[in-house]
Amino acid sequence: MYDLIILGTGTMGSSVCYHAAKAGLNVLGLDQFKPPHKNGSHSGGTRIIRQAYFEHPNYVPLLHSAYEGWNSWENEAGKTLFHKCGLAYGGEPESELISGVLRSVNDHQLNIEPSLGADKEAGFDVPGSFKMLFEKNAGFAIADESIETVLELARKQGCDFQFDDRVVGWELRNGHVEVYTKKEVYKSRKIVITSGAYSGPLIPKLRRKVEVTRQKLFWFEIDNSESFQEGKFPCWCFQDPDYPGLFYGFPYFQTGTSHHPRGLKIAYHYPGEIMSENFIGADHVETPYGEELVHIEKFIDKYLRLENPQLVDRATCFYSNSPDKDFIIDFLPGTDQKVVFAAGFSGHGFKFAPVIGKIVLDLTTLGNTGHPIDFLRLGRFSKTANPKEV
Ligand SMILES: Cc1cc2nc3c(=O)[nH]c(=O)nc-3n(C[C@H](O)[C@H](O)[C@H](O)COP(=O)(O)OP(=O)(O)OC[C@H]3O[C@@H](n4cnc5c(N)ncnc54)[C@H](O)[C@@H]3O)c2cc1C
C-alpha cells in the first residue's frame, strides 16, 4: 500500500514525485513511457521561463515560488537548469502581449527594461511602431534535462518508479485507490493524475474540458550563428499584428545533444491541429511541416536578421488546452479527496513545475494549499458546467 501513486511522471508528475518523496511519503511514480520522452507535452528541447506574465497577473505569485523551486533544484542537483539569458518582448504598445506584460509588471513591481540595448537588439529587425521590453530575470530550461534531473532527485529521496507500463484505469475501493496498469495492480491511499495530453482516458469527465492540439517546432542553421548564441542573443516573444497568437524563439545552440538539437529554434504559439477524442499512445506522433512553417518563414523575413536560414530539424509536441487556457488543479469530485489532478497546462505550464508539485502535495496531504490557486480550481467553471461533467 503506497501513500501516493502519481499517474504520469512527465513535467508535473516528476515534481509531485520529488516533493512527496521529500516529505517522507511512500511514493510510486508510473508512466507509460520512460520520461523524458518525445510523446508528451515536454518534447522539443527548450522552454521559456518568465515572470512578467502577460496571460494574467494572478500567475506572478506562483512564479515567485516557482523561481525559488528552480533555484533549490539547481542547488540540490549541483547544475544549472534555468539559463537566465533574458527575454525580449516585442509588439504594438496596445497588443495583448505588451499591455499584459506591463500589467503584471505594475501589479507586482517586477523589473523590466524599457529597451533591449544595442547589442541584444542587433539580431532583430524591429518596426518603428513596436514597443520592445526586456525581462532580465527570464530565460529558458531544457525540458528533458530538467525532468531527468528531478526524477533523479526524487529517486534519491526514495521514490519508486515503474516505466513503460500504461495505466489503464483506477478505482476507489474500501477507503483506498486501486490503480490498474497493463502489467500490475497497485494500491495507494491517494493518487495524483498528471498525465498531460493523455488525461482523457483516466479522467473521462475532463475530456470535454481539455482539448489536445499538436504543435510544431522548427530549428534553423544560419551563417551568422555567432551573433545568436546564448550571452549575445536572448529568448524572445513577439506578437505580429497580422497573426493571432505569438511567435517565440531561443538563442542558437552550437552543439546538439540528446536533450536538444543544434540550431536556432523558432515556434508559433497558437492552438495547432486538434487531436481526436480517442487520442492515446504514441501512434499519432508525426512531424509534418504544415502551414506553421510558412508563417515562421514570413516572420523570419520580417523580424530577424538571420543570414541564409536553412531548416535543419523539426518536432511536434502536445498542448492540453483548458477552455480559458488557465491550468486546472483540484480534487476530482466524488473521490472523497483521494484523487487530485493537475491538467490543462495550455502550452505555458513548464516554468511552474516546481510549485505545481508542491501545490499538489499540499492538496493531497493537507486538503488545501497556501498558494493562491483559486483561479485555477474547478469551481470557476461551475456557472457554465453541466453538473454531470467535472
Ligand atoms: C511546443 C510546446 C512549447 C511549450 N513551450 C513552453 C514554454 O516555453 N514555457 C512553458 O512554461 N511551457 C511551455 N510549454 C508547456 C509545457 O511544456 C507543458 O505545460 C507541460 O510540459 C505539461 O506537463 P504535463 O506534466 O501536464 O505533461 P507531460 O510532461 O507530457 O507529462 C505527462 C506524462 O503522463 C504520462 N502518461 C499519460 N497517460 C498515462 C497513462 N495512462 N499511464 C501512464 N503514464 C501516462 C505521459 O507518458 C507523460 O510522461 C510548451 C508546450 C509545448 C507542447
Mean pLDDT by 10 residues, the chain (390 residues): 98 98 98 95 96 97 98 98 97 98 97 88 93 97 98 98 97 96 98 95 85 92 96 96 96 92 95 75 57 93 98 92 96 96 97 98 98 95 57
Nearest protein CA to atom 15 of ligand 1, as residue: 347
Residue of 33, 38, 42 to test ligand 1 pocket, by largest number of atoms within 8 Å of CB:
42
Nearest CA to ligand 1 atom 5: 47
CB neighbour class for 306 (10 Å; exposed up to 12, middle 13-18, buried from 19): buried
Atom of ligand 1 nearest to the CA of 140: 8
Which cell numbers in the block locate residue 143? 525540458
Q: What is the pLDDT of residue 279?
A: 67
**DSSP codes, 37-91:** -SSSSS-SSEEEE-SS-SS-TTHHHHHHHHHHHHHHHHHHHTS--EE---EEEEE
CA of 194 relative to ligand 1 center, distance in Å: 9
181 Cβ contact partners less than 8 Å away, ≥ 6 residues apart: 30, 162, 165, 166, 167, 168
Q: Are strands 176-181 and 185-193 parallel, antiparallel or unpaired?
A: antiparallel
> What is the reported pTM?
0.96
- Tell me, what's the pLDDT at 387? 43
Q: Whose CA is nearest to atom 4 of ligand 1?
A: 347
Pick the atom of ligand 1 nearest to 167's CA. Answer: 42
Atom number in ligand 1 closest to CA 317: 53
Q: What separation in Å is there between the alpha carbon of 179 and the centre of ligand 1?
A: 21
- What are the cell numbers at 108? 507586482
Amino acid at 173: R
Q: Which string of b and e fits 116-148 if b means at least 16 CB within 10 Å?
A: beeebbebbeeeeebbbbbbebbbbbbbbbbbb
252 Ramachandran zone, left/alpha/beta (phi>0; psi -120 to 50): beta
Ligand 1 site residues (CB inside 6 A) read 7-8, 10-13, 30-33, 35, 40-42, 44, 47-48, 166-167, 194-198, 202, 215, 217, 267, 317-319, 345, 347-351
CA 145 – ligand 1 centroid, Å: 14
Walk me through the domains of the chain, giving residue ranges and CATH numbers: 2-42+144-209+324-381 (3.50.50.60), 84-138+211-320 (3.30.9.10)
Phi, psi (deg, nearest 5) at residue 9: -115, 45
Q: How far, in Å, from the CA of 43 to the mean position of ligand 1?
A: 8
Instruction: Name the β-bridge partners of 193.
Output: 7, 341
